[in-house]
Structure formats: C-alpha cells, structure tokens
Amino acid sequence: MAAARPGIAQGLSDLFWRRPKVLLAVLLIPPLLWLGVIYIGSLAALLVQSFFSIDEFSGLINYEFTLKTYAELLRPANFDIILRTTLMAAAVTVAAAIIAFPIAYYAARFAKGHMKALFYLGVMLPLWSSYLVKVYAWKLILAKEGILTWAVDGVGASAALNAILALPVIGGGSLSVSYIGTFLVFLYVWLPFMILPVQAALERVPANLLEASNDLGARPGQTLRHVILPLAMPGIIAGSIFTFSLTLGDYIIPQIVGSSRLFIGQAVYAHQGTAGNIPLAAAFAVVPIVIMGLYLWMAKRQGAFDAL
C-alpha cells in the first residue's frame, strides 16, 4: 500500500501528481535562470553598451544614450567590414548548400547500413579535431609552397591557378592570402553544419511523395523543384543559419588565412581589446544579430517554413 510508507519522496511524488505545474516549474526554473540571466542577460548588457559612446579625447565611456556609435558603423572603413563579412557569409552559405544537398540526398535516400555509418563518420570526423589545427592545416595546404600548388603544377594547370589568383579583389599572392582561401576554409569548416540538417529534412520526406509526383507526370527535375526542395527548405534554412551566422561571427579564420582586411569578428575583437572602444565593439556585435533577424524574416515571408 502506498499510503503505508509515507516519506519525502512519496510526498513529493504525490504533490507532482496533484499539481503537474509544480513539476514543470521545478524542471524548467534552473535552465531558464541559466538562459535568462547568463545567456540573454549578457547579450542585453552588450546591447546596452552599444548605445553608449566613447569620448575621443579621454578614451572614457560616456554613459548617455546615443546613436552616435551606430552612426560610426556607417563610416566607409567600418561599413566595408560589414559588407565584406556579409558577402563572405552569403557566398559560403550558398556554396555549402549547393555542395551539401547532393551528399545529404544520397545519405537520406540511398545510403543503407555500412554506407550510412560511413556517411556520418565522414561528415562528423572533421568536427572531432581542433578547429585551429584544421585552419592551420589549410593554411599549409593553400600556401604558395603548399601541396595544392604542387598538385596543380603536377597536372600542368598552374596557368589556370595563376589566372584565378590574378582576379581583382578575390585573388592575391597565393590562395592562403586571398579571399578565395578564406572562402575555402570557411566552406570546409562549416559544411557539416549544413549537411546534417539538410539530411535530416530529406529523411523526413516520404518516398511515396516522390512517386506520387512522378506518377502525376512530373519529370525528376520538376519533382526536385516542386516537392523535394520545398520540403527540404526548413533543413536548408536551418543549415544556412549555422553557416551564415558562424561565418559572420568568426574572427580566427580570416586572421590566419586570407588578406589582412578585417571581418566583423576581428573588428569586435580589436575594438573591445586594444582599442578599448567597448561601445563600437558592441555595435559591431549587434550587426550579425540584425542581419540574421532580417534573413529569417525574409525566409519566413518567402514561405520557407510552410512545410514545417
């Protein structure tokens, strides 16, 4: 008999049964505190900083509400950083989606048993090693004396590589000091974050929808466009949130591989550190948040989440 053995555990379990909301509160309050105070709270503190300004003569922070710091973002030097970072993030995202889709499609529709295990291993394995190791490895691969130049030489295609490197803006002395190099490393490092959500989304598309489309007269390309892509869109958007925001915020890759021009992350790092300009660093940090907000808003308007 349950009533015969009273105790704290029994009393609590009875209480939770009578009042399920108490149980919910007990479960949720610790993570909500963590999320609310430490996570959102620190973000809010950061945002508040962006509405302060710095006194240019004394270097002290002036704690008065102003939009002056945001106006500074629009100065050509700063605006270039935002534009450069956004374009890079967009390029990386589009390329990652294009490369990830066939891989994810194969894994979701065709890979079985061992091939599926191999797929997961292949996609996840790079994530197991240190980010810095991978980035430095790529610096060596892309360097002028690196294996890539050597291999291109070996197949007699150095003229093509030189032509690419001679392109204005994105070219450079070698791949490791060009935007192309930065792009390649970003693409490599963030690709798994695109493949996995797209694969998960494709796996949820029932095979009989593809048959129904085919049965109704659609060619494979039409099925891709009208059935598979719309249903995979939430996965592609989820992946692009990763690749886009990770690229927007990264400050290590562009520092190691690429031209020495700054990206947003590097600007934040520089302003909050050596320059001591916390308000401007905060304002820079707000930029990716705003861009992501706009991006999601547009995606929603385009109906990207209709299939959810």
Partner 1 sequence: MSYAVEFDHVSRHFGTVRAVDDVSIAIEEGGFFAMLGPSGSGKTTCLRLISGFERPTAGHVRIFGETSEDLPPNRRPVNTVFQDYALFPHLSVRDNVAYGLMVQGIEKRTRHARAEEMLALVKLDSYGDRKPAQLSGGQRQRVALARALVNHPRVLLLDEPLGALDLKLREAMQDELKALQRQLGITFVFVTHDQGEALSMADRVAVFNDGRIVQEGSPEDIYQRPRTRFVADFVGSANVLSPALSRRAGGPEAWHSLRAEAMEAVASEAGRISGTVTTVRYLGAIKRITVDVGGDELTVAIPAGQDAPAEGAAVGLNWTAAAMHRMEDA
Task: State which H helix or E strand residue 115 sits in.
Answer: helix 113-128
Q: Is 217 left (phi over 0), alpha (psi -120 to 50) or beta?
A: left
Q: Kindly state the tokens that stand for 192.
A: 């798994």
Stretch that binds partner 1, among 10-18, 125-133, 194-202, 219-227 (CB under 8 A): 219-227
Q: Is 54 helix (H, G, I), strand (E, B) or coil?
A: strand
Binding mask 161-200 for partner 1 (x = CB under 8 A): ----------------------------------------
**Residue 158 binds to partner 1 (criterion: CB under 8 A):** no
Smallest gap from residue 214 Cβ to partner 1 (A) = 5
Among 184, 201, 227, 236, binds partner 1 (CB under 8 A): 227
Among 208, 260, 274, 290, binds partner 1 (CB under 8 A): 208
**Residue 238 binds to partner 1 (criterion: CB under 8 A):** no
**Residue 289 binds to partner 1 (criterion: CB under 8 A):** no
Listed residue (234, 262, 237, 263) closest to 249, CA to CA: 263
Among 42, 129, 222, 302, binds partner 1 (CB under 8 A): 222
Stretch that binds partner 1, among 144-152, 207-215, 237-245, 260-268 (CB under 8 A): 207-215
Task: State which H helix or E strand residue 165 sits in.
Answer: helix 158-165
**Residue 226 binds to partner 1 (criterion: CB under 8 A):** yes
Using alpha carbons only, what angle is made at residue 133 by residues 132 and 134, rounded to the nearest 5 degrees? Answer: 90
Smallest gap from residue 211 Cβ to partner 1 (A) = 6
How many helices and strands, by DSSP H and E, does the chain display? Answer: 16, 2
Listed residue (108, 125, 126, 121) closest to 200, CA to CA: 108
**Residue 218 binds to partner 1 (criterion: CB under 8 A):** yes
Burial of 185 (0-12, 13-18, 19+ CB in 10 A): buried
Please state, in angstroms and rounded to a whole number, the distance separating the CA atoms of residues 35 and 177. Answer: 39
Among 35, 38, 44, 209, binds partner 1 (CB under 8 A): 209
Stretch that binds partner 1, among 56-64, 171-179, 184-192, 212-220 (CB under 8 A): 212-220
The contact set with partner 1 (CB under 8 A) reads 206, 208-209, 211-219, 222, 226-227, 230-231, 306-307
